[in-house]
Amino acid sequence: MPNRRQFLATAGAAAAGSPLFVPNGNTGEIDWDWKPGLPALGERATQDPRVTVLNPRSRVPVSFIIDDSTCLVNMAHFAMPQFAEAWGRERYDRPWRDWPREIPDSFVLKFAEWCQSRGVKGKYSIVPCPALVGWVDRELPGWTRAQLRESLRIVREIIQPDWDIHPEVITHTRIIDLKTGRPLPPKKDGSYWMENGGWCAGKSIDEIAAYLAYGLQILKNADLTCEGFTTPGGFGNSAKAHLGAAAFQAIRSVYPETEIPHYFKYVNLGETTTRPRVELAGGIATVSPQCVVNVPCGTGDWFGGWDGVSFGDVEESINRFVSKDLQSGRMVELVKRDEPAVMLCHWPGIYCNGGEEGFQIFQGAVDRLHEGYRDRILWMKLSEMARYWAARELTAIAVTPNGTIELDAPYAAPDFTLQISRVTGNPSIAGVKMKKVTLRKDLTPGSWLEEEGKTEVCFDIAKGKTEIHFG
């Protein structure tokens, strides 16, 4: 595995205009600089303009990001007084003592069962040391070890198949000293170092990566697998350019088998693109490519908020995602734009202190989305979106004089879908002809569609070279 210095040297050379860097003509219209100070993109492969990489199966990727989740601990109950101590009691004047200390596993199972019945996928955080209550790889005071083991089993066996597990750094509240495991002493002005605050300012990539790796290692100790991480609140705001390299270093150091590390930090609203951003790509024409993928969401938290009490009228909240007539709402807007539609919530705001109003909003939004757009969407985990976009951006595509499509992919990806202009005949790969379908909803790997003079082909692209022949 390349070390950090080699990784950064490759990415830096690409960003500086190395001969390895070739802009992708198919994505020139996208504003990739959707946040100031982001890491360099790195290399891009050449792609013949007669071939366009579409969304997987020509559908809109849909996902659900859950923040502030963990085992048993209701983060809102324990975090609120710490935020009040750090940033002012007037700002965080909430009746946290009246809120339950626990979000029970019975609710986790209820939520997971409902999502499984509808094919919902996404990201589920496990805060490693939630609000300093305890350690999920050791014990949570207030709960028995048997309860913690059972909670982890539910995450491992029932949640993890359909959800990426992310550490939301370490505590989501106080910054800890990695040598002692205790919170850092107060600042000179008496305030506290918080993960949501400005600790990253002036920190090196190594220092940020070490902090991320500490949280990742706790989840690995608990037998959870992670390919990405989530930044709590404003963590990293003052070091955005470092986050990609720190993510790569931290994830690869703890989970060296991770091929495509990713991270979640950004909420992209309005006209800003919601497409994942493949960053610091290097070595894409070699057997050891590398990159990190920045996956944003496309909605605000319009469920119950991070405190679990910020929900409004349930029907009005559902309308913000998908209107009753199915024609408007943020999710509809993104589907019509053909851009990833990723919703964001906070786990206390789904449970809503046992009232479950946030869950009701989510159920309504998903059911309406399926009612109006089931055949146009594809539920994906963040890691699946990251893999697809890495293949989409970094696969070299050429067209030979006889019309053969030649691809050289640094990464394999399922459901890879191309739109090709001015070709005739049945496409085939490795001598196997694809099945022709007449409806886009039927486009699956091994099939093709002809529409308006263009051909769409869908297949599971393998790492390395692939040829598509027509005849």
* Per-position DSSP letters for 192-235, written without gaps between them: --BTTTTTTTT--HHHHHHHHHHHHHHHHHTT---SEEE--TTT
Residue 304 in domain: yes
Count CB neighbours of 259 within 10 A.
17
Which one of 336, 355, 382 terminates a domain?
Answer: 382
Asked if residue 2 has pLDDT above 50, the reply is: no
Co-location of 307 and 448 in the same domain: no
Co-location of 228 and 305 in the same domain: yes
Residue 30 in domain: no
pLDDT tens string 95-121: 999 999 999 999 999 999 999 999 999
Asked if residue 8 has pLDDT above 50, the reply is: no
What is the C-alpha to C-alpha distance for residues 159 and 64, in angstroms, rounded to an integer? 13
What is the C-alpha to C-alpha distance for residues 37 and 235, in angstroms, rounded to an integer? 15
Co-location of 223 and 272 in the same domain: yes
Give the pLDDT confidence score for residue 33 in this predicted structure: 74
Give the pLDDT confidence score for residue 409 in this predicted structure: 98
Band (23; pLDDT cuts 50, 70, 90):
very low
Structure tokens at 82: 């710490």
Name the residue among 284, 288, 295, 298 with its Cα closest to residue 247. Answer: 295
What is the C-alpha to C-alpha distance for residues 319 and 322, in angstroms, rounded to an integer? 5
Give the pLDDT confidence score for residue 345 in this predicted structure: 97
Q: Side by side, which strands form the sheet with 432-433?
A: 396-399, 405-409, 464-470, 427-429, 432-433
Band (10; pLDDT cuts 50, 70, 90):
very low
Co-location of 375 and 419 in the same domain: no
The answer to whether 78 and 174 are in contact (CB under 8 A) is: no
Co-location of 375 and 412 in the same domain: no
Residue 33 in domain: no
Residue 16 in domain: no
Co-location of 170 and 251 in the same domain: yes
Asked if residue 152 has pLDDT above 50, the reply is: yes
The answer to whether 22 and 284 are in contact (CB under 8 A) is: no
Which one of 328, 353, 382 terminates a domain?
Answer: 382
Q: Domain containing 356 — which CATH number? A: 3.20.20.370
Count CB neighbours of 470 within 10 A.
17
Which one of 349, 382, 415 terminates a domain?
Answer: 382
pLDDT above 90: percentage of residues in the chain: 85
Co-location of 350 and 402 in the same domain: no
Residue 118 in domain: yes
Phi-psi region of 336 (alpha: psi -120 to 50; beta: other; left: phi over 0): alpha
pLDDT tens string 122-140: 999 999 999 999 999 999 9
Give the pLDDT confidence score for residue 31 in this predicted structure: 58
Residue keyed to tokens 């469920």: 303
Co-location of 121 and 167 in the same domain: yes
Co-location of 428 and 463 in the same domain: yes
What is the C-alpha to C-alpha distance for residues 21 and 14, in angstroms, rounded to an integer? 5
Co-location of 292 and 159 in the same domain: yes
Mean pLDDT, to the nearest integer, of 273-301?
97
- Full residue range of the structural domain in which residue 417 is found: 395-471
* Beta strand 262-264 pairing with 163-166: unpaired
Asked if residue 1 has pLDDT above 80, the reply is: no
Residue 72 in domain: yes
Give the pLDDT confidence score for residue 470 in this predicted structure: 94
Co-location of 209 and 237 in the same domain: yes
Asked if residue 301 has pLDDT above 60, the reply is: yes
Give the pLDDT confidence score for residue 189 in this predicted structure: 87
Mean pLDDT, to the nearest integer, of 52-80?
98
Co-location of 368 and 409 in the same domain: no
Residue burial 139-158, b: 16+ Cβ < 10 Å; e: rest: ebeebeeebbeebbebbeeb
Asked if residue 151 has pLDDT above 90, the reply is: yes
- Measure the CA angle with vertex 135, ends 134 and 138; round to 5°: 115
Structural domains counted in the chain: 2
Residue 207 in domain: yes
